Amino acid sequence: MSTIPQETLAAMAIAARTGHFNISLMRELYRRAGSFKTITDNHDNIRDIIPDCPQRLITTLKNISPIISRTEEEAEYITTHGIQPICISDDSYPQRLRECEDAPLVLFYKGTADLNCKRVINIVGTRHATIYADDFIRQFTERMKELCPQLLIVSGLAYGVDIMAHRHSLENGIPTVGVLAHGLDNLYPPRHRETANRMAENGGLLTEHFTRTNADKVNFVRRNRIVAGMSDATILIESASHGGGLITCSMAQGYGRDVFAVPGKVGDTYSEGCNNLIRDNGAQLLTSADDLVKAMGWEADAKLATAQRQGIERTLFPHISGNARLIVDNLDSSDMQLNVLATKTGLPMSDLTATLFELEMQGIVKALAGGTYHLIK
d(CA 52, CA 167): 50
**pLDDT one-digit tens code per residue, 67-117:** 888 999 999 999 999 999 999 999 999 999 999 999 999 999 999 999 999
Does the pLDDT value for residue 56 go beyond 50?
Answer: yes
CATH topology for 119-295 is Rossmann fold (3.40.50)
- pLDDT of res. 309: 61
| SS3 category, 372 | strand
Question: What sign has the CA pseudo-torsion 19, 24, 25, 28?
Answer: positive
Under the phi-then-psi rule, with left for phi > 0, alpha for psi from -120 to 50, and beta for the rest, what region is 206? beta
pLDDT band at 156 (very low <50, low <70, confident <90, very high): very high
Does the pLDDT value for residue 364 go beyond 90?
Answer: no
- For the chain, what percent of residues have pLDDT higher than 90? 67
- pLDDT of res. 60: 84
pLDDT band at 314 (very low <50, low <70, confident <90, very high): very low
Does the pLDDT value for residue 322 go beyond 80?
Answer: yes
- pLDDT of res. 318: 57
**pLDDT one-digit tens code per residue, 20-34:** 777 888 888 899 999
Nearest to 20 by CA among 225, 280, 247: 225
The chain-wide mean pLDDT, for the chain, equals 91
The answer to whether 179 and 173 are in contact (CB under 8 A) is no
| SS3 category, 123 | strand
**pLDDT one-digit tens code per residue, 170-223:** 999 999 999 999 999 999 999 999 999 999 999 999 999 999 999 898 999 999
Nearest to 25 by CA among 136, 101, 89, 107: 101
pLDDT band at 59 (very low <50, low <70, confident <90, very high): confident
First to last CA, the chain: 40
Section 118-132 average pLDDT: 97
- pLDDT of res. 332: 80
- pLDDT of res. 65: 81
- pLDDT of res. 94: 96
Maximum C-alpha span of the chain: 62
Q: Residue 249, class by beta-carbon neighbours within 10 Å (0-12 exposed, 13-18 middle, 19+ buried)?
A: buried
**pLDDT one-digit tens code per residue, 241-300:** 999 999 999 999 999 999 999 999 999 999 999 999 999 999 999 999 999 999 999 988
Q: Residue 296, class by beta-carbon neighbours within 10 Å (0-12 exposed, 13-18 middle, 19+ buried)?
A: middle
pLDDT band at 317 (very low <50, low <70, confident <90, very high): very low
Q: Which stretches of 186-216 are DSSP H helices?
A: 193-201
CATH value of 313-375 in 1.10.10.10, 3.90.25.10, 3.40.47.10, 1.20.120.420: 1.10.10.10
